[in-house]
Chain A
Amino acid sequence: MKKKIKKFIRKNPLAFVGIIIWVLFIICAVLSPLIAPYDPYLQDLAVKYQAPNAAHLFGTDSFGRDILSRVIYGARISIPCGLLVVALACVFGTLYGAIAGFFGKAVDEVLMRFADMVMSFPAILLAMALAAAMGRGVGNAVLAIAVVAWPKYARLMRGMVLSAREAEYVTSEKVIGQQKFHVLLHTIIPNCVSSQLVLASTDVGNAILTFAGLSFLGMGVSPPTAEWGYMVSDGVAILEYWWISFFPGAAIFMVSIGANFIGDAVRDILDPRMKNEL
C-alpha cells in the first residue's frame, strides 16, 4: 500500500498537490466552526481595514470582519456548490445524450441541435441572464450554471452510445430478448460512465470559477454571506486594501487549480487513450 502511494506521488506529483489542497479545504468546510478564529459575521468597526497581522492573519474587511474566518467558512459554499453543479449537469447530460444516441435518427437530430444551441451561449452570460430572471440565491445560481453546463456531457455520451450500440455485447443482449430500455440503462450507460467521470473531474474547477464569477457579479449569494466570489468584489473599489480581495480570490484559484490537477490524473488513470489529449 505504502509503495503504491509512493509510486502514485512520483508519477502524479501535481495530482498529489491537488489532493492535499482539496483535503485541506474540505477539512475547512466541515470543521469551520472549530478552525475559524472568529465569527465570520462578527462586525467590529474598531478594527476595520486592518492589514494582515498576528491577530488577523488575513486582515479585516470594511466591517472589521476577520477575513481568514470568512475564507474558511466560504469553503462551505463554493465546494458543495461546484460539485453540485457538476453532478446535476453530468447526470442530466448523460441521460440526455444516452437517449439521443440510443434512439438515433430524428430524436437524435432534434435533441443534439438543441444541445448545440445551448452551447452557443457563453456560459457566464446565459447563467447571469437566468440568475437575473430567477432571482438572487445560491440555489438559483447553481441551477443557472448547471443549465448551461450539461450539453458537453450530452455530446460525449451520445458519441459513446452511438459506438456502443454497434458493439457485440449490446447485440447479444438484444438477441436474448432484453427490452431496449433495459439494455440502455443496464448495459450501455454503465459502460460509458468512466469517460463521463473524466469529463466531470476536469469540469469541477470550471464550475467553481463560474459560480464564484456569478457571485462576484452579485448574482449568487446575498450579503453578508461569506462566499469567496462575493468577498473578492468587496475589495474592488478599495484596491489599496489588497487583502480584502486577495485571500478569497486565492482560495478560489487554489481550489480550482487543485481540481484541475486531480482531473488531469483521473483522466490519465481512467482513460489511458485520452492521455496527452486536452
Chain B
Amino acid sequence: MNMLKYIGRRILLMAVVMLGISIITFCVSHFVPGDPLVANLGQSAMSDPEIVAAYEAKWGLDQPVYIQYINYMKNLLHGDLGTSIRTKQPVLQDLEKYVPATFEMATLATIISIVLGLLFGMISAARHNKLSDHVLRVISLMGISIPAFWLSILCLYVFYLNLRILPGSGRVGAEWLGATFPTGFLLWDAVTCGEPTLFWDALAHLVLPSLVLAASTMGILTRTVRSSMLEVLQQDYLRTARAKGLSERRIMIHHVLKNGLIPSVTMFGLCYGSLLGGTVLVETIFNYPGVGLYAYKAATTLDFPAIMGTTLFIAAVNVLMNFFVDILYALIDPRIRY
C-alpha cells in the first residue's frame, strides 16, 4: 500500500515537472528575439497571407500570452508539437520516424555503460589503491573528459577509414537503403523477419556510435560503483557476516553488491539525460538518422517548432526514465518507502 502511495505521489510530481518543461519550451519559442512569426513559419511562408492568418488563428497570436499558452497546451495534449518548417511535416510524425533509431543506439549505449561501469567499479573497489584501481580511475576520468565528437572522429578514422572493419555512417548498408521495415527497430525487425544479414549490418552500424555515447556514462558509473562499494566494505555488518562464517563469495554477492549498487541506480537515472543529449553530437557525425540528427538539422536551419518539439520530447523521455529509476530505487531499497 505504501508503495502505491509513493508511486502516486511520484506520478503527481512528474506531472508538475512535465507542465513546467512545457512552460519553459513555450517561453523559449515565444520570446525568441525578433518576430516569433518569422521564427516559427520561416521567411518564405511569411509572404503568403493565408498561411500567416492560419498560423495566427491556430496559435491565437493576437491573444494574451496565457491564452496562447493554454492553446499550446491543448495542442500538446492532442499530440500536436507543431509543424516543422524544414520538412513541412508535423514534428510528432517526424519524431516517430526517428525515435526507433535513437532508441536502439541509446539502449545499446546504456547496456555497454552499465556492464563496463559495474565491472570497472567493482574491480576498482576490490583492488582499492592497487595498480588496477589507479589505472581504472584514469580510464573512467578519460571517459568523462573525452569530447564525444572527437572520439567519434578518432573511431571513424581507425575502424572505418583505415582498418575498414566497421561502417562509417547511417543505420544500414547500401543494400538495405530503399527497404521499409515493419517497426523501424532494425534489430528487432531483423529477428522477427528472420534476416540475419540485416541484423549484423544494423549492429555493425550501431557499434561505434554506441561505444562513443557510452564513454562518459561508463566513467561516471565506474566512479559511483567504486565509491559506494568502498563505503559498504567498511560496514560493521560485513564483519558480522564474516564472523558468522559466510563464504567471501556469498558476502560479495549478498551483502556488498546488493547494498553497494543502490546509489548507482540513481546515478544512472541522472546520467541518462546527458546520454540522450550526447546523441545530438554522435548522430551528427555518424550521419545516423535519429532524433539527435533531426534536432541538429532543425537548430542549424532555425526550424523552431522542430527544435522545441524535440527538446520537449527528449526532456519528457528523460523525466519518465527518472520516474522509473526512482520506482526501481524504492523497490530495491526498502528504506525509501515512506
Contacts of B154 in A (CB 8 A): 246, 249
Are B307's CB and A132's CB within 8 A? yes
Contacts of A253 in B (CB 8 A): 145-147, 150
Chain B residue with Cβ nearest A124: B277
Chain A residue with Cβ nearest B310: A125
- Among B145-200, those with CB < 8 Å from A are 145-150, 153-154, 156-157, 160-161
A209 to B161, CA, bound (A): 26
Q: How many residues of B contact A (CB 8 A)?
A: 58
Among A116, A132, A239, A260, which residue has its beta carbon within 8 angstroms of that of B299?
A: A132
Among A14, A132, A133, A246, which residue has its beta carbon within 8 angstroms of that of B138?
A: A14
Are B280's CB and A124's CB within 8 A? yes
A63 to B278, CA, bound (A): 30
Contacts of B295 in A (CB 8 A): 125, 128
- Among B262-293, those with CB < 8 Å from A are 273-274, 276-278, 280-281, 284-285
Contacts of B145 in A (CB 8 A): 205, 209, 253, 256-257, 259-260
A242 to B156, CA, bound (A): 10
Among B278, B310, B322, which residue has its beta carbon within 8 angstroms of that of A120?
A: B322
Q: Give the total number of A-B pairs whose CB atoms are below 8 A apart.
A: 156
Contacts of B33 in A (CB 8 A): 133-135
Contacts of B29 in A (CB 8 A): 133
Contacts of A246 in B (CB 8 A): 153-154
Contacts of B210 in A (CB 8 A): none
Contacts of A219 in B (CB 8 A): 299
Are A125's CB and B157's CB within 8 A? no
Are B147's CB and A129's CB within 8 A? no
B81 within 8 A of A: no
B330 within 8 A of A: no
User: Which of A133, A252, A278 is the most central at the interface, judged by chain B CB atoms within 10 Å of its CB?
Assistant: A133
A131 to B295, CA, bound (A): 13
A206 to B154, CA, bound (A): 20
Are B223's CB and A278's CB within 8 A? yes
A130 to B308, CA, bound (A): 10
Q: A254 CB to closest chain B CB, in angstroms?
A: 9
Are B156's CB and A239's CB within 8 A? yes
Q: A219 CB to closest chain B CB, in angstroms?
A: 7
Q: Size band of the A side of the interface?
A: 35 or more
A213 to B295, CA, bound (A): 14
A93 within 8 A of B: no
B240 within 8 A of A: no
Q: A183 CB to closest chain B CB, in angstroms?
A: 31
A192 to B322, CA, bound (A): 28
A218 within 8 A of B: yes
- Among A172-196, those with CB < 8 Å from B are none
Given contacts A121-B21, A122-B277, A278-B223, contact A232 B150 (CB under 8 A): yes
- Among B17-52, those with CB < 8 Å from A are 17, 20-21, 23-24, 28-29, 32-33, 39
Chain B residue with Cβ nearest A250: B150
A249 to B147, CA, bound (A): 7
- Among B290-333, those with CB < 8 Å from A are 295-296, 299-300, 302, 304, 307-308, 310-311, 314-315, 318-319, 322
Taking A121-B314, A134-B32, A236-B285 as known contacts, 13 extra A-B pairs with beta carbons closer than 8 A to each other, sorted by chain A number, are: A14-B141, A119-B273, A123-B273, A123-B274, A124-B281, A125-B277, A128-B280, A133-B33, A205-B145, A217-B280, A235-B153, A242-B157, A276-B231
- Sorted nearest first, the 7 A-B pairs with minimum C-beta distance are A122-B277, A249-B150, A117-B20, A257-B145, A256-B145, A124-B277, A133-B32
Q: List 9 A-B contacts (CB under 8 A).
A: A117-B17, A121-B318, A122-B277, A124-B281, A129-B28, A213-B148, A217-B280, A239-B161, A276-B231
